[in-house]
Structure 1
């Protein structure tokens, strides 16, 4: 009995140390993100910037932004939700903490479940997805060109939480499609892709769809649905989001997040 208690104690200690180490690595990534951030909060949004944009895009910015508000440079948020480790599995509960920088595309995310901790990031132009089982065993460590593109697509889709980032810029071009949709064309260094954006009647972005690498060699249709818009710190954002793979076999929802806290330009 005493031996069993010792073994249990050692296992719990190892798991605790693993959790602390992952938290320290996450904090270090956040510090790097802050160090690389370019401040754009001295710029202000004006409705004049919308001249010439497709009508549904103008409708969106008029709905979510206030004339004269400053650009957002940094974002910190927390979320709750559910997640699937494989498309045919069951949903499990997940909580997350995430940081974004805007002018220089960067983000760091840590998602925690009872079984694993995942860290998703795009820092210094390098993407990485790392998953640790019980905070100890690394079971996924994704890197490379395909990961870089996918992480940039996540960063851009999640820009609905800091919408000044979606205004026209050297990286972003909006192209008209019809009264309720538009194409968002994104270019950053060697990475380029397009999103088809669907808007509802009041101007909210309802969905964003692109082609994303699902395997190392093959892209599939990837859809993000946004809902439940609320005004926070003067900005209207969706507090509910869902990620879906649209495959020949059907639609596979694998992540549903709800924002529980968001800060703009926070101190580290």
Structure 2
């Protein structure tokens, strides 16, 4: 019998948490070579004097819908992201539709991404993989760093270019993939939106459509002493107009999570 998504998720998270690295603090000097908008954002988030990010865990809730005419369904998500020599993004979503539960497991380990969806934990209805998935998850990985763990932008390969107004273009190189996004900042210095044209829309894992994708942020709040997003949306810019398909509310963020007690610290 195939292991459930929860079992696989927990097993891979535990494997990633087994590696412990020494704590190194972010310094003001490390920000000096960055564009001024990004410097201001990182200071506003509160990264200076805090540990560099090696991994982070996010738990959030929200709503999603598969199409314009469908109703919103409630979701709950556990996510763990690892940086360093063995980067990974593990994303487990639980939801229900018409009273039928289903799970979606996004796994981006090294250069390869997959997305699997099972109904009632038994019947697999989607299994997406291939170059479009790899590129799309690279965009999502970059988006997560910008919105949820900005200090991690100091750990990865991003080339920044100043744009018009209060915008920056970031070109992100990760595990052999290269994607780009435009970040827009508001007058207070907060990141207001992230927009990329390198992500693919797919409902079945077989058909992929390349539309601009954006994640405007609606609300900021405090997590572990950091000033971070609390609520945001995910929107496809389709030819007929914007399609907001997801709304997220962050409930918990934890950085540099150590090995679990049952795993035993080295």
Q: How many residues align?
A: 248
Q: Which has the larger radius of gyration?
A: 1
Match of residue 27, structure 1, among 10, 21, 24: 10
Secondary structure of the residue that 1:31 maps to in structure 2? Answer: helix
**1:127 corresponds to which residue?**
113
Contact 2:223 2:252 in 1 (8 A): no
Please tell me the root mean square deviation across aligned C-alpha atoms, in Å.
2.1
Contact 2:5 2:92 in 1 (8 A): no
**1:4 corresponds to which residue?**
none
> In structure 2, how many angstroms separate the alpha carbons of the residues matched to 1:66 and 1:213?
32
Contact 1:223 1:245 in 2 (8 A): yes
**2:38 corresponds to which residue?**
57
TM-score, normalization: structure 1? 0.85
Residue range with higher mean Cα deviation, 61-70 or 76-85:
61-70
**1:47 corresponds to which residue?**
28
Contact 1:122 1:128 in 2 (8 A): yes
Q: Which structure is higher in helix share?
A: 1
Match of residue 229, structure 1, among 217, 220, 243: 220
Residue range with higher mean Cα deviation, 215-224 or 190-199:
215-224
Shift of 1:213: 1.7
Shift of 1:88: 3.5
**1:145 corresponds to which residue?**
131
Structure 1's 264 and 52: CA in aligned 2 closer, same or farther, altered over 3 A? Answer: closer
**1:10 corresponds to which residue?**
none
**1:8 corresponds to which residue?**
none
Match of residue 197, structure 1, among 160, 177, 183: 183
> In structure 2, how many angstroms separate the alpha carbons of the residues matched to 1:164 and 1:247?
32
**2:238 corresponds to which residue?**
247
Contact 1:33 1:107 in 2 (8 A): no
Contact 2:214 2:234 in 1 (8 A): yes
**2:253 corresponds to which residue?**
262
**2:69 corresponds to which residue?**
88
> In structure 2, how many angstroms separate the alpha carbons of the residues matched to 1:235 and 1:219?
34
Shift of 1:38: 7.7
Segments of structure 2 that go 5 or more residues without pairing to the other structure are: 261-266
Structure 1's 237 and 78: CA in aligned 2 closer, same or farther, altered over 3 A? Answer: same
